[in-house]
Amino acid sequence: MLTYSSVMDAKGDLYETWNDRFLSAVGAPADADQKWYQPRGIEDLPNLKQSSERDFWGWRSSMRFKIEAWVGQIEVPPHFLLEGERKWGTLILYFLDSAQFIGGGFAVVVNTNGPGTESVKYFTWRACEHAFQHRSTGTCQHEYTCTKCGAKYDVDSSG
Ligand SMILES: [Zn+2]
């Protein structure tokens, strides 16, 4: 079961909107009982890529994460493990849904159970493997549009 340990400051309609967007992005079937949807593992997550502690905290310190969802115990596929690392871990999903993470976020697996070396593993996931095209819309205004899904975000580089 997905347990939302924090949905930041969203209330009412905003909560529902983020919740729906999150479940749709993470790949929950539209006809499933979404309250009970659970990815079986990290490989169920769309466009999964290995990331790093530095990346995760870099984004976490500069952007709001909209949802943190505790998934529970999963088995990390062997090709993501270094020699001797524990394969069972606790999966926590983070939904950013902004900038290059529109429709996506991070997945963190904390491997502290069972035999082997403890580790924390970081991944990114996205509903769309965005291909952003840049366009200047003013002196310091930049617009990025995904050529695949149409997702769009703006950056003001004037600081
Ligand atoms: Zn896209």
Is the Cβ–Cβ distance between 96 and 126 less than 8 Å? no
> pLDDT category, 150, cuts 50, 70, 90?
very high
> Which of the residue ranges 83-92, 104-113, 150-159 would you say has the lowest mean pLDDT?
150-159
Instruction: For 93, list phi and psi in degrees, rounded to 5.
Output: -105, 140
Q: What is the pLDDT of residue 91?
A: 93
pLDDT tens-place string over residues 118-127: 999 999 999 9
- Distance (angstroms) between ligand 1 centre and the Cα of 129 equals 6
How is the chain split into domains, by residue range?
3-127, 129-159
Residue 88 has pLDDT above 70, yes or no: yes
Residues with CB under 5 A from ligand 1 (ion): 128, 130, 146, 148-149, 151
> pLDDT category, 37, cuts 50, 70, 90?
confident
Q: Which of 106, 138, 125 is nearest to 48 (CA)?
A: 125
Neighbour-count burial for 39-67, b at 16+ CB within 10 Å, e otherwise = bebbeebeebeebeeeebeebeeeeebbb
- Distance (angstroms) between ligand 1 centre and the Cα of 103 equals 8
Residue 1 has pLDDT above 50, yes or no: no
Q: What is the pLDDT of residue 121?
A: 97
> Tokens 């790093």 correspond to what residue?
52
Residue 62 has pLDDT above 80, yes or no: yes
Mean pLDDT highest for which of 4-13, 33-42, 140-149?
140-149
- Distance (angstroms) between ligand 1 centre and the Cα of 83 equals 35
Q: Which residues contact 150 (CB under 8 A, 6 or more apart)?
A: none
> pLDDT category, 23, cuts 50, 70, 90?
confident
CA distances from 108 to 14, 22, 43, 134 (A): 25, 16, 13, 30
Q: Which of 10, 12, 27, 11 is nearest to 93 (CA)?
A: 27
- Distance (angstroms) between ligand 1 centre and the Cα of 142 equals 17
Angle value at C-alpha 35, between 29 and 41, nearest 5 degrees: 60
Residue 9 has pLDDT above 50, yes or no: yes
